[in-house]
Structure 1
């Protein structure tokens, strides 16, 4: 669709994070189109996160714009109608970047040292992205074996170690159950790898006991060993294998973070570094999302004033359809996140 040597006047802006497979696929697709891509790492340019959420209604990546035209995420890009895609490429080729195009960082707008503040979810996401990069470079396709020697020499691992230091400043009490699960599962799996790289893999029962009871991170002002994370937090403060006592006593401040009940699925997510463990993966909080027009945001008070009343109003006024059945299922499950689609202010002329 684009001839070789064609000068592009506009740009495609992709908001992404390193190691994200959807971001990688989206940028590979755009590369085949021959369009100029401005890749914005939202982990490095944190000042653009809020603006991106405001523009798109989403905080996940990638988010893609052709000049000032919002396309959506990687799935939206892959599913574009060929004719519409051709029009978008043409707009980038012929039209200069408009004033209302999404923001990109200036040459001098980088964070001073790339530090992440004390927000647990943000730091967890940044660490998760580095873990994804490490896994993509050094993990086997089935997720069961790790090239530890190559990983130990990786610059990405050095960056992970630097970022892990900031765990000591995170605030954890505000995390929801889903956020806590994702945060601590990811940290556990990363800590196992970190411990293996720094201390070596335990070879007998005594070494394994010491490894899981002493390898630790300083998180939110408290020390968490691997045993503390698994049995104290994720298993609701239950005794682990060969443990005589619960990880947290009644007066232990870490007890506030323990799940009220055990989550059995963690046993299919935690990887202790042995071949018998489940494949290593990363996890995000599972929150159901309903996307609505900005009109519902602007006049939310007219529809009840709360997300719950708004969704019930929408449900009551929907005709019989698969979407209504899907919404009914989400309402019955609870924990729904409401987000709002970008509003298209372009004139609705047929010309």
Structure 2
């Protein structure tokens, strides 16, 4: 009986872990500067991307975790440390957008390297029922310990209300939108967000029209509220970034929508 109860509880916990967190603003991170003379350097992160990120002909990016030297891992940790010593409220809103995206992505790569080799980021995390590291307190900013989920769901999503955020933050998985080849800055953020949306939507792991209907990344199910709230609005969003052939196919889609996701590491082997 105890074993059966354990199995039931385990199943319930795992199903909850798969549910996407709600968008819920943490007001302590809402402050920003109207103008800022503070310069944030993302050069260290760009150096890591230049050395270890590969873009395939079909515009999917992969990271060579196995090739990262100990010196470059230290450089990455130094970059993360640099960002955590900055008080975000001293930055403008657009500076903050780039700051949080880069910090999320750099820390994710750092966590993978700390635990490498691993088949999937879902194998990381503290606690018996952990499904990934997203709820672990892995960063300290303004003397406050925060999680990757805090950055995505309690800062980026509620502050910016921009569905393209989902094409920017990278979960180190095959089915995830690309880890961008360029560090986000106040100057290039809007361009990179559009590029991330276009690359993902026009790749089969994001959107695939089949004879049976439409196969989409589960991101569009988890966060449907951010893409309009219903499947009709979701199709409109996809069509905004779809290339002509895909856009035409989307306009004629009938049948069910199937959602799939591959959590294997986004790794060049």
TM superposition score category, shorter chain reference: 0.3 to 0.5
Higher RCO by CA contacts (8 Å cutoff, separation 6 or greater): 2
TM-score, scaled relative to structure 1: 0.37
TM-score, scaled relative to structure 2: 0.47
